[in-house]
């Protein structure tokens, strides 16, 4: 004996016509989020790259020679004369020049280094014994990487640029 199940009748045309606009509105809402998520992903990528480029230069600065030897001081680290000037060593040679733009493949970024004295060196040198006494200097290094972010439509942003600045203290060795 067979029993019929009466709830197996499917959807009526009226139900389909009501469900279609509801599903369409939901899909359109999801589609509008795609450009925003793409923009956020691109912004994160650009910020990450800028931070990498700043840290790369900080490593080069950290490895630069700045030592106190008696009777002379070896300074290839350099110091900036002002907030707008690249650092120069004692002989006036630019040690970490501004890069506008940075070499390929990072041509969308610019990088500048500013080095300032935090604690002045008050060392004295006894030439007869070769002994250095006193406090060593400390310099503040600021590396700023600037880029132009993309807009949510994928084109370059019309106004402004973004910058990532990384600071580090360097002590004389």
Q: Are strands 109-119 and 162-171 parallel, antiparallel or unpaired?
A: unpaired
Structure tokens at 118: 């935090």
**Pairwise pLDDT comparison (98 vs 119), residue with the higher score:** 98
- List pLDDT tens digits, range 92-111: 788 899 999 999 999 999 99
* Contact by Cβ (8 Å): 165, 143: yes
% of the chain with per-residue pLDDT over 90? 37
Higher pLDDT, 76 or 142: 142
Contacts of 111 (CB under 8 A, 6+ apart): 53, 54, 57, 98, 99, 100, 102, 143, 144, 145, 146
The pTM of the whole model exceeds 0.75: no
Residue-level pLDDT at 2 = 66
Q: Where are the alpha helices (DSSP H) in 1-134?
A: 13-62
Q: Which of 104-108, 111-115, 135-139, 163-167 has the lowest mean pLDDT?
A: 135-139
What percent of the chain is predicted at pLDDT more than 70?
78
| Burial of residue 109 (number of CB atoms within 10 Å: 0-12, 13-18, 19+) | buried
48 Cβ neighbours under 8 A, 6+ residues apart: none
The more confidently predicted of residues 39 and 113 is 113
Strand-pair partners of 109: 147
Question: Peptide bond preceding 71: is omega within 30 degrees of 0, i.e. cis?
Answer: yes
- Residue of 148, 167, 144, 173 lying closest to 65 (CA atoms): 173
Residue-level pLDDT at 135 = 62
Q: In a 3-state reduction of DSSP, which class is residue 117?
A: strand
Report, as an integer, the average pLDDT of 76-91.
Answer: 84
């Amino acid at each position: 004996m067979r029993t019929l199940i009466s709830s197996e009748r499917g959807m009526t045309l009226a139900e389909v016509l009501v469900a279609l606009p509801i599903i369409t509105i939901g899909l359109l809402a999801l589609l509008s989020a795609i450009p925003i998520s793409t923009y956020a992903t691109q912004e994160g990528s650009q910020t990450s790259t800028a931070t990498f480029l700043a840290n790369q230069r900080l490593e080069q600065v950290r490895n630069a020679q700045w030592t106190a030897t008696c009777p002379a001081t070896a300074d290839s680290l350099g110091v900036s004369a002002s907030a707008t000037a690249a650092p120069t060593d004692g002989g006036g040679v630019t040690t970490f020049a501004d890069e506008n733009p940075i070499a390929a493949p990072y041509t969308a970024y610019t990088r500048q280094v500013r080095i300032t004295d935090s604690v002045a060196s008050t060392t004295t040198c006894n030439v007869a014994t070769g002994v250095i006494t006193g406090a060593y200097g400390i310099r503040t290094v600021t590396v700023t990487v600037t880029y132009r972010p993309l807009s949510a439509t994928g084109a370059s942003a019309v106004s402004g640029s973004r910058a990532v600045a990384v600071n580090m203290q360097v002590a004389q060795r």
